[in-house]
Amino acid sequence: MKHHWAWDALIYHIYPLGLTGAPLQNDFESPAADRLDELQGWLDHLQELGVNTLYVGPLFESTRHGYDTVDYFHVDRRLGNNDRLRRFSDRLHERGMRLILDAVFNHVGRDFWAFYDLRQQQQQSPYVDWFAGLDFSQGNQYGDPFSYEGWNGHKSLVKLNLANPAVREHLLEAVRQWIDRYDIDGLRLDAADVIDLDFLSELAAFSRSLKPDFWLVGEVVHGDYRDWANPDRLDATTNYELYKGLWSSLNDRNYFEVAYALNRQFGEGGLYRDLPLYNFVDNHDVNRVASQLNNPAHLHPLYLMLFTIPGVPTLYYGSELGIAGLRSDRDDSALRPRLYPPALGESRPAILSDIQRLAAIRQQQPALRYGGYRQIYLDHAQFAFARDFEGDTLIVALNADLHAESIRLEGLAGSELVDLLNGEERFPIQGAEAELRLPPTWGRILRVG
């Protein structure tokens, strides 16, 4: 069976305005910076980690944070220009890596060129039908003589009218340029859960007509992911349903929480068994996972689970180094810090080495990328599941306790279990059972032999 390349991906997510230390506000006058070139300095580090797909965004001209787009056709001057992005994409692809960009198609910033024209010409603007909820019977907080719909009530983010064919044509033409000029391999669709579904279908058909294996993943927080991810629309969504349980099950010493979600999604009759969901433990919108965990030792079983469950594992820049970061009610800057790649010979945190090992094992074992999922052991602080693929079975056993713990697995085939994660330690299977000693705040990846 041929699988889409996304099933083999290990994605690294960079928020470029933060990582490169770009100014918080765009002055729309400065010459193009060279900050985008800094990303090339990360590529050796990423390949050492085992990363094969880079998600970078947002990248295009915006007012402040990148999700308030001003121009879909030009790279944000605070980062660089179109030529610099093309060179970076070329270097990335020369290494055999893939590139995913942010697509912010639900809304634009107030400085977006068509909205700027609307502010100047008001009802005489040819773009009056480009924006959702436009109403000239009342003003807005910015002093314009009209109101409009903003994303999630934020009027700095102006919702586009995606029912307008001219708006759709503009956005699809941007996608065409991104594919033609930068050879991108996919898009992460911001706020996909509030985007018109008919537009998502048109976008999918258009993108795949240009590049048949193009990957579309939508940012979706709540709901049935199959409403967005299906053969007519997107390939996958962000897996927010699983996100919290990945770390809170460790804080609460309650693997039952995450086990329930995994069974619902990927177990027998699971809702999303055929979807390469975008699995994550943190991103640019939520607290760094090192700050979410009560005990930093739990980073190790956390990433062990992330790399062995069904779906596509993703790393948010810097979290592989164990950096912390908490958001406030008004400020996300701690989540999006200025950062440099680790220098050669620099002391590396243990979690970085663990992630390298986990990435290598995942890439070597098809069962971890394509296999089914079945739970085989569950207790408050210990958890084991099997991944089966074409006659090969791997068992992942996790221990959240701060001390070593023994568990007994039942219903096993074969004669022994071989630990691929810890020096190929072996455990005999007798009477379809095996006794396992699990290291503290760690686990095992076992091949049934």
44-76 pLDDT per residue, tens: 999 999 999 999 999 999 999 999 999 999 999
246-293 pLDDT per residue, tens: 999 999 999 999 999 999 999 999 999 999 999 999 999 999 999 999
**Euclidean distance between CA atoms 282 and 82, whole angstroms:** 29
Q: What is the pLDDT of residue 330?
A: 85
Q: DSSP per residue over 166-192, as a string?
A: HHHHHHHHHHHHHHHHH---EEEETTG
- Per-residue pLDDT, averaged over 225-240, amounts to 98
pLDDT at 19 over 90: yes
> Which 3 state secondary structure label does DSSP give 24?
coil
- Per-residue pLDDT, averaged over 159-171, amounts to 98
CATH C-level class of 5-106+163-369: alpha beta
Residues paired with 392 in a beta bridge: 389
Share above pLDDT 90 across residues of the chain, in percent, rounded to a whole number? 97
Topology of domain 107-161, per CATH? Oligo-1,6-glucosidase; domain 2 (3.90.400)
**Euclidean distance between CA atoms 241 and 256, whole angstroms:** 14
The CATH architecture assigned to 371-448 reads Sandwich (2.60)
| CB atoms near residue 12 (< 10 Å) | 24
- For strand 107-109 and strand 154-159, is the pairing parallel, antiparallel, or unpaired? antiparallel
Angle at 339 between CA 337 and CA 345, to 5 degrees: 150
Q: What is the pLDDT of residue 53?
A: 98
Average pLDDT value for the chain: 97
310-360 pLDDT per residue, tens: 999 999 999 999 999 999 988 899 999 999 998 766 778 999 999 999 999
Q: In what order do the strands lie in the sheet with 107-109?
A: 107-109, 154-159, 150-151
Question: 328-347 burial by CB neighbour count: b if 16+ within 10 A, else e?
Answer: eeeebebbbbebebbeeeee
419 phi/psi in degrees, rounded to 5: -85, 110
Share above pLDDT 70 across residues of the chain, in percent, rounded to a whole number? 99
Taking phi first (over 0 means left), then psi (-120 to 50 degrees means alpha), and beta for anything else, what does residue 414 get? left
Q: What is the pLDDT of residue 430?
A: 97
| CB atoms near residue 91 (< 10 Å) | 14
pTM above 0.85, yes or no: yes
Domain ranges of the chain: 5-106+163-369, 107-161, 371-448
Q: What is the pLDDT of residue 348?
A: 83
Question: 114-140 burial by CB neighbour count: b if 16+ within 10 A, else e?
Answer: bbebbbeeeeebebbebbbebeeeeee
pLDDT at 109 over 90: yes
Q: What is the pLDDT of residue 1?
A: 63
* 294, two tokens: 């009560």
